[in-house]
Amino acid sequence: MDLAQNTDLPLKPVREMPQFPMKFGAQSDHDYIETCRGLSPVMRDRYGCITTFSMANFQLLLDDRYTRQVELEGLRAAGVKDGPAYEFVQQVLLFSNGQTHRDRRGPLARTFAQPMVRALRPQVAARVDRLVSAMVDKGTVDFIDALAGPLPAATIAAIIGAPEEDSAQFSDWAYAASKGMGICSAEERARADVALVELTAYVQDLMGRPVAEDAFLASYLDKVADGPMSADEIRTQIVGLVIAGSDTTRGSLTSMTSQLMQNRDQWDLLVSDPDTHAPGTVSEGVRYDPIIGSLARITVEEIELEGYAIPKGRLVTPSMIGALRDPAVYADPARFDITRSDHPRHHPVFGGGPHRCLGEVLARIELEEALKSLARHAPDMRIEGKPAALSGFSATRVVKSMTVVL
């Protein structure tokens, strides 16, 4: 893998790149990605979008020297040129670059500082215990409805000063809105637009209410005062925080709990010492079956990758699923092991560089405390019916319901 230092050098044309094969039968997402990895380190789809599978290429394609974050290109490709989703993507920090991204991220990063987030752990632990206690001895329970959905939504509600009773609505809005950020069905687009309109109106109302001087929202509004962002941009960052802080944690907690139930030796190990093993379980859970299928970027110059020419302006989607099971990085990558010691120092699932996830610390706290509470209060927990599994190859992957007995 080399980047061409001189873009005037002749490079192999992109049309020679292998195209994705068909997915056969009941082949899982991971099995399909491994099939692709075995055929070629780089592949293209029928639209010319380029995907890589190794950790090295994943990290390279997140480098701002060679690629940039996708802005409105995804929605335009889906034929969307206006509307709530278009305005949201246009104004939120996730889909911005350069100085605009720095202007939007800086105040949130300073407000969402790690000491403030770490101080939330006792509140998160208490909230988890209440949710888990309500599930014990109740027979079959929908895991997402009872725990995985309410926990992150209630936590975000508490951070921005919203009543906890509104958190269920947060979860519904966030889930619907997240589906409208790219290519989706007309029905999903309509639901996403409605969710964004309603969530934006709710945040607007919340920002107009009196709050304590030391509250998150008051601190954030103080940091953006007299800054370069418009009132719409300021509001959109809070809307984005609600969406980002809900759906990914919901899916991750469901997925890793499903894996623990399917690997009872690992569950028993966690139960034996939750405080010791919860952090490792989270790191392994988000590696083994990541909530993000791939990250989308756009090349800012012509580059050479694995001997293939990647033109400037091309959409590239380095596979998170492939990178997190790269045998060059992980020993026995298809094995679920909560004691694994070969995780990179900065977990790739949270991205990298200036776009690394602001909510990493909070997500880890929520996931760790949820696992610890389940291990302590429901050591004999089991799945009733089919285990949950994430599905999809790009953006936020989808998880269906999972029924458990505590």
Spans of all domains in the chain: 14-405
pLDDT of amino acid 9: 42
Give this prediction's pTM.
0.92
C-alpha–C-alpha distance, residues 77 and 87, integer Å? 15
Q: What is the pLDDT of residues 178-234, one digit of tens each?
A: 888 877 888 999 999 999 999 999 999 999 888 877 788 899 999 999 999 999 999
β partners of residue 405: 140, 382
Q: What is the pLDDT of residues 143-178, one digit of tens each?
A: 999 999 999 999 998 999 888 888 888 888 988 898
Distances (CA, A) of 51 to 28, 108, 179, 302, 316: 18, 31, 21, 16, 6
**153 φ/ψ sector (left φ>0, alpha ψ -120 to 50, else beta):** alpha
pLDDT of amino acid 72: 92
Q: Which residues in the chain land under pLDDT 50? A: 1-11
pLDDT of amino acid 3: 38
pLDDT of amino acid 74: 85
In the chain, the amino acid numbered 112 is F
**Three-class SS state of 84:** helix
C-alpha–C-alpha distance, residues 314 and 300, integer Å? 8
pLDDT of amino acid 23: 83
Distances (CA, A) of 375 to 18, 261, 270, 316, 370: 46, 11, 7, 40, 9
The β-bridge relationship of strands 315-316 and 398-399 is unpaired
The residue among 156, 139, 143, 135 whose CA lies nearest residue 376 is: 135
CA dihedral 324, 329, 332, 337 (to 10 degrees): -60
C-alpha–C-alpha distance, residues 246 and 160, integer Å? 13
**Three-class SS state of 316:** strand
β partners of residue 142: 403
pLDDT of amino acid 15: 56
Q: How many CB atoms lie within 10 A of CB 110?
A: 12
pLDDT of amino acid 2: 38
pLDDT of amino acid 14: 55
DSSP state at residue 45: -
Q: How far is CA 124 from the centre of its chain?
A: 20
CATH hierarchy code of domain 14-405: 1.10.630.10
Phi, psi angle pair for 5, to nearest 5°: -75, -25
pLDDT of amino acid 6: 37
- Tokens for 342, please give them: 């070969």
Q: Which helix (H) or strand (E) holds 226?
A: none
Q: From the CA atom positions of the chain, what is the Rg in Å?
A: 21
DSSP state at residue 50: E
- Whether residue 157 contacts residue 366, with contact meaning beta carbons closer than 8 Å, is answered with no
Q: Which helix (H) or strand (E) holds 278?
A: helix 274-288
C-alpha–C-alpha distance, residues 25 and 20, integer Å? 16
- Whether residue 241 contacts residue 156, with contact meaning beta carbons closer than 8 Å, is answered with yes
